Amino acid sequence: MLADAGRSLQVDVVRPEDWRTWRDLRLEGLRDTPIGFGRTYEEERQRPDESWQTGGTRPGLRVLARAGGRAVGMAGVFRDDTDLPVVYAVYVTPAARGQGVLAALVDVLAAWAAPDALVLDVHEDNARARRAYEKLGFTLTGGTTPGGIDGRDLQRMRRS
C-alpha cells in the first residue's frame, strides 16, 4: 500500500530502459479508464516495441512515479504548436490514488514548463480525473479539444 511507502515516492524522468514500464502502465490505464486517453487499448497494444522504445516523436518530458520500487504513476508534457505546455498520458494506479502521486507528477511537469501554465484535456465523463485536477489548481477554461476516444470533444483545463 502506498500509504506505507509514501515516504519513498519518487518521480523520475523516463529513461530508455523504462520503456516496458511506461508501456505497461499505459496499457493498464487504457483498461482502467478507456475514455481517459486518445487511443484505444487495442491500438496501443498492437504498437511495435520499437515505437515504445523511442518514446514517440514529441519533444518534452515523460516521468514515472515509483513507490517502494513499484511504478504507480506516469505523465508527460510537451509544447504544442503555440508553445503551450500540454500534459498528456496521465495515469495513477488505483491503489495509489488519493495519496499524492498525481500531485508529485504534476509538480515535476510544472517545473519543466515554468514559467508557463500547464494545460490538459479531460473527457467530460471523467469526473474523477476532473476533480483530481481541480484539487491541484486546474480549472476548466470553457474551451474544448477534439480527440475523445468516443468522438466527443475533451474539456480544456489550465493551471497557472
Q: What is the pLDDT of residues 84-104, one digit of tens each?
A: 999 999 999 999 999 999 999
Q: Report the domain count for the chain.
A: 1
**pLDDT at 31 exceeding the cut of 70:** yes
pLDDT of residue 6: 46
Residue 42, domain extent? 2-159
More confident residue, 74 or 36: 74
Closest Cα partner for 5 from 72, 63, 83? 72
**pLDDT at 3 exceeding the cut of 50:** no
CA distance linking residue 133 with residue 129, whole number of Å: 6
CA distance linking residue 117 with residue 13, whole number of Å: 20
Q: What is the DSSP string of 9-59?
A: -EEEEPPGGGHHHHHHHHHHHHHH-GGGSSS-HHHHHTS-HHHHHHT-S--
**pLDDT at 154 exceeding the cut of 80:** yes
Q: How far is CA 19 from CA 67, 73, 89, 93, in A?
A: 18, 14, 14, 17
Bridge partners of residue 71, in order along the sequence: 66
CA distance linking residue 25 with residue 154, whole number of Å: 22
**pLDDT at 2 exceeding the cut of 80:** no
CA distance linking residue 5 with residue 57, whole number of Å: 34
Using CB atoms within 10 A of its CB, is residue 94 exposed (0-12), middle (13-18) or buried (19+)?
Answer: exposed
Q: Mind listing the pLDDT tens digit for each residue in 38-77?
A: 888 999 999 999 889 887 667 899 999 999 989 999 999 9
**pLDDT at 113 exceeding the cut of 80:** yes
CATH number at residue 127: 3.40.630.30
CA distance linking residue 31 with residue 28, whole number of Å: 5
User: pTM for the whole thing?
Assistant: 0.91
